[in-house]
Chains A and B, each alone.
Chain A
Amino acid sequence: MGLEKFKPSLATHDLIQDLKWSPELRTEFAEQESVVLDRYPLAEDERKAIETRNFLALYDMGLHPYLGGQFARLIFGNEAGKGATVAVNKLVESLQGKGPVA
């Protein structure tokens, strides 16, 4: 699974970039995820994939894998050797066929 499904206009790309660039938005996302998601023009299946942590579905919709890896860290943890390892393993589990890993 590489870049062949990449869809540059996918709204989730902006969500991930904004989360990466704003500590305040990350706090809000952790506390009220649905309120944050409401601000982005997400397709119904795209939003559902985010809510269920279905990275496989998001990649099939065209999410860039590099941002997918960062989204996993934004959700599951970003510390070297700790949360980031959990995030990588969750992501791989989803992409290798499990789908939702919430």
Chain B
Amino acid sequence: MAEIVFAAGAPHAPGLIGLLEAAPPDVKDVVATTYRSLAEAIAKAKAEVLIVFANDHLANSRVRAYPDFLIGMAAEHRGPYEWFKPWIGCEDYTVKGAPEIAAALFDGMTKRGIRMFAQNENLKFDDNISVPVLLTNIAGSGIPMIPVLQNCTVPPIPDQCRCYEVGTALGDFIRDDLPADMRVALLGSGGLSHEPGGARYYFIDEEFDRWFLDLVASGDHERLLRELTLEKMEAAGSGGTAELLAWVVVLGAIGSRPGKSFGYTVHKDFKCGVGGVLWDMNANMRQQRAAV
């Protein structure tokens, strides 16, 4: 039985790279602490593969043929895609892929009734994969990655309940289909509140962000599924905030566990609230509750 040894959620706002240098010191501190902590946790977990769920941002498919989940099966993942380079302001990177595990993921999710699509060719990555790869040193760590780009913005959007179901199936796949003792890391890439392309492009909903970070760190998934509706995320930033659904997939896979946040910050130029959560994969909520 394979094991999930790392699980986290973190934003991927492009400004975290291209605009970080000009940000105030307190903002830089939160960004540096968050991603350094996640990088250290990934390294410490000694994971053999990292599966990253992230908003596709309409980067790979036309609106008319838009997959809800698209698995990258390439042997190497190269990014960022040409047009996004100046926008993100980041260096090129290459991350080792895991084609056999990616194929098993495709088969395993299909077997569990989850419609995913998969592509052998290199996917087009924007900030969705590029920012976490660079800020958590995935390229340098040598850990193979499987990107899964998901539909967080093209209606009809798989909602929080559906994404949690996908995550539950993902957890079953990891535990039951992957080789025994394989160590797997999961990252939900996206958020926090933002409205890319909207009339409120500079809007950041600090109250929503702090509520969300507290909620996902609490481990209360019943409340999460009840309250983290598409309507609530749209109100906190249309077309952007709902990429927190990538975190929901990860939460479905790991089940109810407490998490740790590394602080929260807002910076107008990022056009996005910033804060990450690392979930405690050694915690057993059932035992903790029984002990109370």
Q: Which of A17, A64, A65, A81 contacts B22 (CB 8 A)?
A: A81
Kindly state the separation between the CA atoms of A13 and B63 in the bound complex, as whole angstroms.
Answer: 7
Report yes or no: B87 in contact with A66, Cβ–Cβ below 8 A. no
Once bound together, how far apart are the Cα atoms of A80 and B18, in whole Å? 6
Rounded to whole angstroms, the CA-CA distance of A10 and B18 in the bound complex is: 32
User: Given that A21-B83, A80-B19 are contacting pairs, would A67 and B197 also be in contact in the complex, using a CB cutoff of 8 Å?
Assistant: yes
What sequence of 0s and 1s flags, for each residue 56-89 of chain A, a beta carbon within 8 Å of any chain B beta carbon? 0000000011111110110000111101100010
Q: What is the minimal beta-carbon distance from B246 to any residue of chain A, in angstroms?
A: 15
Are B89 and A1 neighbours in the complex by a CB distance under 8 Å? no
Set A3, A79, A81, A92: member contacting B199, Cβ < 8 A: A92
A66 & B202 in contact (Cβ 8 Å cutoff): no
Chain A residues with Cβ below 8 Å from B86 are: 78-80, 83
Complex contact A14–B197 (CB within 8 A): no
Q: Are B14 and A91 in contact (CB under 8 A)?
A: no
Q: B201 to A88, Cβ gap below 8 A?
A: yes
B60-92 interface bits toward A, Cβ cutoff 8 Å, 1 = contact, 0 = none: 001110000000000000000011001111000
Q: Give Cα A84 to B196, complex, Å.
A: 12
A13-B63, A17-B62 known; A3+B201 contact, CB < 8 A: no
- Count chain A residues whose beta carbon lies closer than 8 angstroms to a beta carbon of B: 33
B83 touches A3 (CB 8 A): no
Taking the complex as formed, is B25 at the interface, i.e. its CB lies under 8 A from any CB of chain A?
Answer: no
- By secondary structure, the A interface counts as helix
Interface-central residue, B83, B89, B197, B238, by most chain A CB under 10 Å: B197
Instruction: Count residues of B near A (Cβ-Cβ below 8 Å).
Output: 35
- Give Cα distance in the complex from A55 to B153, angstroms: 19
Q: Contacts A73-B87, A88-B271 given; indicate if A68 touches B197 (C-beta within 8 A).
A: yes
Q: Which residues of B contact A95 (CB under 8 A)?
A: 198-199
In the complex, A80 Cα to B155 Cα: how many Å? 28
* Cα separation A76 to B63 with both chains bound (whole Å): 23
Q: Does B165 contact A (CB under 8 A)?
A: no
Interface residue from B62, B124, B196, B269 paired with A13 (Cβ < 8 Å): B62
Q: Is the interface of B mostly helix, strand, loop or mixed?
A: loop
From B88, B197, B239, A80 is in contact (CB under 8 Å) with B88
The docked-state distance in angstroms from the alpha carbon of A72 to that of B238 is: 17
Chain A contacts of B238 at CB under 8 A?
1-3, 65
Name which residue of chain B comes closest to A10, CB basis.
Answer: B63
Bound-state CA distance A23–B64 (Å) is 22
Chain A residues positioned under 8 Å from B63 (CB to CB): 8, 10, 13-14, 17, 64, 67
Whether A80 touches B87, Cβ cut-off 8 Å, given contacts A66-B57, A67-B197, A92-B201, is yes
- Chain B residues closer than 8 Å to A21, beta-carbon distance: 83, 124
Query: Is the Cβ of A66 less than 8 Å from the Cβ of B58?
Result: yes
* Given A8-B64, A65-B238: A70 and B19 interface contact (C-beta under 8 Å): no
When chains A and B are docked, how far (Å) is the Cα of A72 from the Cα of B124? 20
- CB within 8 Å for A66 and B239 given contacts A13-B62, A17-B58, A17-B62: yes
Q: How far is the CA of A97 from the CA of B238 in the complex (A)?
A: 18
Interface-centre pick from A10, A69, A78 (highest chain B CB count, 10 A): A69
- Is the beta-carbon distance between A14 and B62 smaller than 8 angstroms? yes
Check A8 against B154 for contact (C-beta < 8 Å). Answer: yes
In the complex, besides A66-B240, A78-B83, A96-B199, 5 extra interface pairs with C-beta distance below 8 angstroms are: A14-B64, A17-B58, A64-B153, A79-B89, A92-B201
Q: List 5 A-B contacts (CB under 8 A).
A: A3-B155, A3-B238, A6-B154, A8-B154, A88-B201
The interface of chain A, by Cβ under 8 A from chain B, is 1-3, 6, 8-10, 13-14, 17, 20-21, 23, 64-70, 72-73, 78-81, 83-84, 88, 91-92, 95-96
